[in-house]
Amino acid sequence: MKFNVNGQEHNVGDIDRDMPLLWVLRDRLGLTGTKYGCGRAQCGACTVHINGAAVRSCSLSARDAEGKKIVTIEAVSGRVADAVRSAWQRLDVVQCGYCQSGQIMTAISLLSNIRKPTDAEIDAAMDGNICRCGTYIRIRKAIHEAAWSIAQGR
Amino acid sequence: MRGIVIGAGASTGLALLVWVLAASIWSGEATSQRHSDREASLAAWDRVVTVLQHPRCSNCHQPKEPLQGDSRRRHSPRVVRGRDNMGVPGMRCGSCHSEHGNNEASRVPGAADWKMPPRSMSWARLPIGQLCRALKDPTKNGRRSLNGIVKHMQEDSLVHWSWEPGGTRESIGMPHDVFVELVEEWVRSGAHCPD
Amino acid sequence: MMRTSKHGRPWTPTRRSFLKDAGTTAAALVLGVHSPFAESGQAASPPAPAIFDPNVFLRIDPDNTVTILSKHFEMGQGITTGLATLVAEELEADWSQMRVAFAPNKPQLYRNLMYGPYMLTGGSASLANSWEQMRKVGAAARNMLTTAAASRWEVPAGEIVVAKGVVSHRASKRSATFGELAADAMKVPVPRDVELKEPKDWKLIGKRLARLDSVAKATGSAKYALDMRRPGELIAVVRRPDCFGAKVLSFDDRYARSIPGVIDVVRIPSGVAVLATDVWSAMAGRDVLRITWDTSTAELRSTSEILEEYGRLAEASGTQAVRRGDAAAALAKATHVLEAEFTFPYLAHAPMEPINGIMELRPGGAEIWSGCQVQSADAHFAAKVLGLAPEQVKINTLLGGGSFGRRGNPHGDWIAELAEIAKAIDGRAPVHVVWTREDDIKGGYYRPLTLHRVKVGLDASGQLSGWQHKVVCQSIFVGTPLEEEMAKDGFDRGSVGGLADTPYDIPDLSVESYNAWSPLPVLWWRSVAHNHTAHVIETMLDELARRARKDPVAFRQSLLANHPRDLTVLSLAAQKAGWGRPMARGRGRGMACHRSFNTRVAMVAEVTVTRPGYRVDRIICAVDCGVAVNPGIVEAQIEGAVGFALSSVLRNAITLDKGVVEQANFDDYDPTRFSEMPKVEVHIVKSLAAPSGIGEPGVPPLAPAIGNAIAAATGKRLYSLPFDSSLLH
């Protein structure tokens, strides 16, 4: 089977077509930035971008992922991605860090569509991403800060 | 049809009697036809509404957020309707619900065009009479005619999904074509609503 | 509290047991002579002095990076940044040149100085035990760099200045980086002793330095055990019984073996393992295993039945944990007596990275890659399974995706399981055991189900008059190698931590402890017994205050007269929260103040009562953790503890139905979500006392602060956790 990931075509040979994209990325392509947290679309740790939108890779089969443009945390780029990563680092958002790839991918998707999200809009976008370490306060702050710096043209 | 027949004599009277008798049987038939139309319509509705109130349909026909599962619990993870009924940036319905269909690995249901119906089509906590009237109301049902309602039940991808919901979700109790026939029958017999 | 071991040597119980007030932090506390995790052939002995040889803890590379070898496990709490700060301070390094790697599992070099001979991370003791040691490492290294430069330049060492990673001699205008001098410096004999800076000279300690792991974790490049792949490794997922204590009777693996990618199926003590080339195939193989179970030794009760048994146990006398004064008599004289019962459910830790680890066997040894928190225990149990000596087990500690206590298991459970699988396939390939989220939620090692019964009295003047307290739960230590240390005579000291050693002045106090038993394994859950004892104490104090018509803060102050540091956090939190200012109708403010692991935390919660229940709006926290090495990390740990503990207040519970765990994943074990997170304000008490730890102390006060706020808003008192908000309406 062939997958378009991070701008490149990858041929992974014969695999179970029901294999979730998550495991194709992690076990076949060695892209371990996208995490397994629950396998049931409950936690968001597996979030990637498909054709620009945030998608939970544990809920998309290899069969349904073929032919789509997939971007993972390792390669997500652009003004919004840069601003989000910078804000995350400046504010030391992370603790254990395991959920953060998914948090960041969701935040990038939010800010790519809503330039200056309100707290309610941030809640609605981020409620599906679990953090057991309790970094939600800093995530919120980082999203606001990223929005501000994008607006400033930084 | 009642008419005033002016006749003379017994024959007229007999004719009148016969006419009146015939007329009363016919109007009784019309009345009882109307009665049995209404009865048939309500009987069909009674069966149609069990499908509409089934979690597969009513879970999404909600005013705010969709419900989840046979137990109709709050959707987990939390989601919001969004302006276009398809979620919000960062958490679109399609983030999890695949257009390609149910995902058995994650047990997340899916179908083409997965979204919530407009708020006006919410049936949450509506008694069946009100539900019926709301369903027929073009200002609420997306300007659908009665035939339009039948078409929705017949063709809509999310309606079809309800019969193959995947996972351990309970499917609708009757076959889809039987359901569509009942909707058609309900419409044919006047699309009556209970009080 | 000194006791004498069987061999007559004095020893002090530590770790998960109550500590006496004040001054115990600096002492090297020794676990008893029955060292279950001792290296083979090593007789237990008093601890060797702390090592501060830079060669043990530092690596300075020619590219001028300074890498700290962290003896502690990084699970998000920021310890690696903290340790690097201590070293960099005395070393006079530039923060930008600091890096961290994990130390090898050599307890003789890398032991936790508060836990005898053991290498482990826990008890919120990492900074506390490293405080002096790591600064001495930095100072010694600076000393050796200076000596090397002096020798190279033939100038007096006293004229050499070290700052921001550069060593220089002004007079001769010479300078060199650490990298340039490192090779020579490391050959200099380690100084016998070193001087440490005065606090007024600190440049890094006390500053909000950037975390060293932020970049990797924000770019997806940080590697956890689940991300590691050893060449040729096989992924193993294990089918364990639905009921704890059940055993495999028979199994049919023919369907599993027919799944593409499945390589082998083996029986192990904890169940049946399916080995495959990738995670998905292993999971698919496991799904079609057919197993019959022997449940004759299994826990088959429902939670309600177990609680009923706890209630019956509590009717008799328990082990007296504390008997001070005469609580019965004081209660008999009391004018008001308040009685309450609290239940606390089993709780799963549910770290975001599920348990997993890799083992490779080779002749005469084994190598592990995992997020190992208690390396001494892990090596011990791996060695036991494999018939090796612990020194033959090499552990590569990796970043952990959360722990909250789960990865620090004195049973070494998943490492032992991993070793069993490796053994079962004769080590012919590396094995990577992976637990799914369902395995994690259903896999036991929970915070114990706990019942408290408490009776407290007030005299006519509104003073405390008697406190009788019973705590029923399973012991974390009975039945483990740590039993001798922690649960002598069946009394588990860890079960009453925070209660038996409360700083509140309670002259007539009786605490009885009851050890229940079940094959269901239990484990410490962030802050151990404090996560239930604090809730009971702080709730009852609040209720007593209200009954006595006293302000809840003032009531507590009157009981803390001899404890100035506790009084300070209490008063600071109250002040910052505007305690006493009226709140709008339907809103309430609640206080809770608790000391755990020598750190004092007071929290004021503000809640709003809503139609379905309540919402937690804000937590105002005051914390005294001694020197706050990195205030940003201290704040993050308090924020984090609030987010983590809130889930146990709102809804989390593991329940059994006839022995089967009813929860499976995050939909039915739903942690705190983004929109539920309150605002959190943290006020750190300025202190020069040695740091006392911050990983756990933020958890205990949260639940009672919220409960007390709800009571203030509604007049209704909620006792058991998770709070049943339907009781409010």
Per-domain residue ranges of chain A: 2-71, 79-151
pLDDT for A90-125, tens place per residue? 999 999 999 999 999 999 999 999 999 999 999 999
**C529-558 confidence digits (pLDDT tens):** 999 999 999 999 999 999 999 999 999 999
Torsion C13-C18-C19-C25 (CA) sign? positive
Per DSSP bridges, beta strands C160-163 and C247-252 are unpaired
- Which residues, listed in sequence order, are joined to residue C272 by a DSSP beta bridge? C239, C267
| Under 8 Å between Cβ of C543 and C549 | no
Phi, psi dihedral angles at C400 (to 5 degrees): -110, 135
- Model confidence band, residue C116 (pLDDT cutoffs 50, 70, 90): confident
Length reported for chain B: 195
Query: What are the chain B neighbours of A68 within 8 Å (beta carbons)?
Result: none
Q: How many C-beta atoms lie closer than 10 Å to residue C314's C-beta?
A: 18
C-alpha to C-alpha distance for C434 and C236, rounded to whole angstroms: 6
Q: Does C507 touch chain A (CB under 8 A)?
A: no
Tell me whether residues A97 and C677 touch, CB distance under 8 A: no
- Distance between C302 CA and the closest CA of chain A, angstroms: 26
Indicate the pairing of strand C509-516 with strand C464-474.
parallel
**Looking at residue C491, what is its pLDDT?**
80
Look at residue C4 and tell me whether its pLDDT is greater than 70: no
In angstroms, rounded to a whole number, what is the distance separating the alpha carbons of residues C63 and C74? 25
Burial of B59 (0-12, 13-18, 19+ CB in 10 A): buried
Q: What pLDDT score does B20 carry?
A: 67
Per CB-CB distance under 8 Å, the chain B contacts of C669 are none
Residue percentage of chain A with pLDDT more than 90: 97
B106 and A59: CB-CB below 8 Å?
yes
**Is the CB of B77 less than 8 angstroms away from the CB of A44?**
yes
Indicate the SS3 state at residue C382. helix
Rg of chain C, C-alpha, whole Å: 27
User: By a Cβ cutoff of 8 Å, what residues of chain B touch chain A?
Assistant: 76-80, 82, 88-92, 94-98, 100, 103-108, 110
Average pLDDT value for residue range C666-672 = 97
Whether C574 has a pLDDT exceeding 80, the answer reads yes
Chain C residues with CB inside 8 Å of B76's CB? 666-667, 670
What local confidence, expressed as pLDDT, does residue B27 receive? Answer: 63
Question: Distance between CA A108 and CA C550 in Å, rounded?
Answer: 51
Alpha helices in B53-169 (DSSP H): 55-58, 128-136, 146-155, 157-161
Query: For position B35, what pLDDT does the model report?
Result: 74
Q: Give the strand pairing for C656-657 and C660-661.
A: antiparallel
pLDDT band at A23 (very low <50, low <70, confident <90, very high): very high
Max CA-CA distance within chain A?
48
Contact B77 C673 (CB under 8 A): yes
Residue B168, helix vs strand vs coil: coil
Residues 6+ apart with CB under 8 A from C359: C366, C367, C368, C382, C415, C418, C419, C421, C422, C430, C431, C433
Beta bridge mates, C661:
C656
Q: Which residues contact C698 (CB under 8 A, 6 or more apart)?
A: C601, C621, C623, C637, C638, C640, C641, C642, C645
For residues C11 and C272, what is the distance between their CA atoms, to the nearest angstrom? 42
Which two tokens mark C662?
Answer: 């009813």
Q: What is the value of pTM for the model shown?
A: 0.93
Nearest CA to CA, how far is B76 from chain C (Å)?
6
Q: How confident is the model over C576-602, as a mean pLDDT?
A: 97
Do residues C601 and C569 touch, judged by C-beta distance below 8 A? Answer: yes
Q: Which residue from A minimizes the CA distance to C618?
A: A137
Calculate mean pLDDT across residues C398-407.
98
Candidates C436, C370, C415; CA nearest to C237 is C436
Query: Do the Cβ atoms of B51 and B133 come closer than 8 Å?
Result: no
* pLDDT at residue B9, rounded to an integer: 55
**Angstroms from A23 CA to nearest CA on chain C:** 7
Q: Smallest CA–CA separation between A95 and chain B, in Å? A: 22
**CATH label, A79-151, candidates 3.40.50.620, 3.40.50.11810, 1.10.150.120, 1.10.760.10:** 1.10.150.120
Q: Which of C148, C150, C156, C137 is nearest to C91 (CA)?
A: C137
Res C650 pLDDT > 90:
yes
Q: Which residue has the tokens 């739960």?
A: C473
Q: Do B76 and C667 touch (CB under 8 A)?
A: yes
Note the pLDDT of residue C48.
Answer: 67
Measured between beta carbons, the chain A residues lying within 8 angstroms of C666 are 37-38, 40, 42-43, 130
Most C CBs within 10 A among B76, B103, B168, hence the mutation to make, goes to: B76
Using a CB-CB cut-off of 8 Å, the residues of chain B touching C670 are 76
Decide: residue C727, CB within 10 A, 0-12 exposed, 13-18 middle, 19+ buried: middle
Euclidean distance between CA atoms B41 and B51, whole angstroms:
16
How far is Cα C133 from Cα C50, in angstroms, rounded to an integer?
Answer: 6
Closest in A59, A61, A127 to B96, CB measured: A59
Nearest CA in chain B to C667: B76
Q: Which domains does chain C have, with CATH numbers?
A: 15-212 (3.30.365.10), 230-299 (3.90.1170.50), 317-346+446-728 (3.30.365.10), 355-434 (3.30.365.10)
H helices of chain B, in order, are: 9-52, 55-58, 128-136, 146-155, 157-161, 176-188
Rounded to the nearest angstrom, the minimum Cα separation between B74 and chain C is 10
CB pair distance less than 8 Å for C401 and A96: yes
C636 touches chain A (CB under 8 A): yes
Min Cα separation C348/chain B (Å): 19
pLDDT of residue C729: 84
Mutation pick from C667, C668, C670, C675 vs chain B, by most beta carbons of B within 10 Å, is C667
Q: How far apart are CA C184 and CA C193, in angstroms?
A: 20
The C-alpha atoms of residue C654 and residue A106 are separated, in whole angstroms, by 30
How confident is the model at residue B5, as a pLDDT? 45
Q: Does pLDDT of C32 surpass 90?
A: no
Residue C486: pLDDT band with limits 50, 70, 90? confident
Radius of gyration of chain A (CA): 15
Please say whether the beta carbons of C695 and C124 come within 8 A.
yes
Compare all CA atoms of chain B with the CA of C437 and give the residue at the minimum distance. B106
Neighbour tally for B50: CB within 10 Å: 16
pLDDT at C707: 98
* Out of C217, C281, C436, closest to residue A94 by CB: C217
- Per CB distance under 8 Å, which residues of B are interface residues toward C? 76-78
More confident: B22 or C259: C259
**DSSP letter assigned to residue C446:** B
C137: number of Cβ within 10 Å: 29
Enter the DSSP assignment of B110. -
Q: Tokens in use for C473? A: 């739960």
pLDDT single digits (tens) C321-345: 999 999 999 999 999 999 999 999 9
Q: Which residues of C574-593 are buried (b: 16+ CB within 10 A; e: fewer)?
A: bebbebeeeeeeebbbbbbb
In contact, A31 and C221? CB cutoff 8 Å: no
Q: Check if the beta carbon of residue C479 is closer than 8 Å to that of residue C455.
A: no
- Crossing angle for the helix pair B176-188 and B9-52, to the nearest 10 degrees: 140
CA C470 to CA C492: how far, in whole Å?
A: 13
- C5/C475 Cα distance (integer angstroms): 21
- pLDDT band (50, 70, 90) for residue B1: very low
What is the residue whose two structure tokens read 């009084």?
Answer: C567
Residues of C in contact with A123 (CB under 8 A): 674-675
Q: Could you tell me the two tokens for C22?
A: 């004040």
The verdict on A61 touching B (C-beta cutoff 8 Å) is: yes
Say how far residue B76 (Cα) sits from the centre of its chain.
Answer: 28
Pairs of CB atoms within 8 A across B/C: 7
Determine the pLDDT at residue C46. 55
Strand partners, A66: none
pLDDT at B28: 62
Nearest CA in chain C to B78: C673
| Region at C535 (left for phi over 0; alpha for psi -120 to 50; beta for the rest) | alpha
Which chain C residue is nearest to residue B74, measuring alpha carbons?
Answer: C667
SS3 annotation, C108-125 = HHHCCCCCCCCCCCCCCC
CATH number of A2-71: 3.10.20.30
Structure-block tokens of residue A59: 């809920």
Beta bridge partners of C224: C399
Is residue C675 less than 8 Å (CB to CB) from chain A?
yes
Q: C51 falls in which pLDDT band (50, 70, 90)?
A: confident
Residue of A nearest to C632 (CA): A92
- Chain A residues within 8 A of C640 when measuring between CB atoms: 95, 133-135
Strand ranges in C134-289 using DSSP code E only, listed in sequence order: 160-163, 166-169, 174-177, 234-239, 247-252, 262-268, 271-276
Q: Could you tell me the sign of the dihedral formed by the alpha carbons of C523, C526, C529, C532, in that order?
A: negative
Chain A hits for C401, Cβ within 8 Å: 35, 96-99
Q: Which residue of A has its CA nearest to B106?
A: A40
* Long-range contacts, C130-134 (Cβ 8 Å, 24+): C130/C71, C130/C72, C130/C82, C130/C83, C130/C86, C131/C86, C131/C627, C131/C690, C131/C691, C132/C26, C132/C50, C132/C196, C132/C690, C133/C50, C133/C51, C133/C52, C134/C52, C134/C57, C134/C68, C134/C83, C134/C86, C134/C87
Residues of chain A found within 8 Å of residue C85, distances taken between Cβ atoms: none
Contact: C667, B78; criterion CB under 8 Å: no
**Nearest residue to A49 via CA among A111, A142, A123, A116:** A111
Which of B151, B150, B131, B138 lies closest to B49 in space, CA to CA? B131
Measure the CA–CA gap between C271 and B90, rounded to whole angstroms: 40
Q: Which residues of chain B make contact with A110, given a CB cutoff of 8 A?
A: 89-90
Surface of C (249-268) touching A: CB under 8 A: 260-261
Average pLDDT of span C392-419:
96
Per-chain mean pLDDT for chain C: 92
Lowest-pLDDT choice from A45-49, C149-153, C489-493, C522-526: C489-493
Distance (Å) of CA C340 to CA C162, C454, C544, C562, C706: 62, 6, 12, 28, 18
CB-based contact C454:C501 (threshold 8 Å): no
Placement of tokens 């998309």 in the chain: A60
**pLDDT at residue B2, as a whole number:** 43
**Is residue C368 scored above 90 in pLDDT?**
yes
Spans of all domains in chain B: 48-188
pLDDT greater at residue C51 or residue C396:
C396
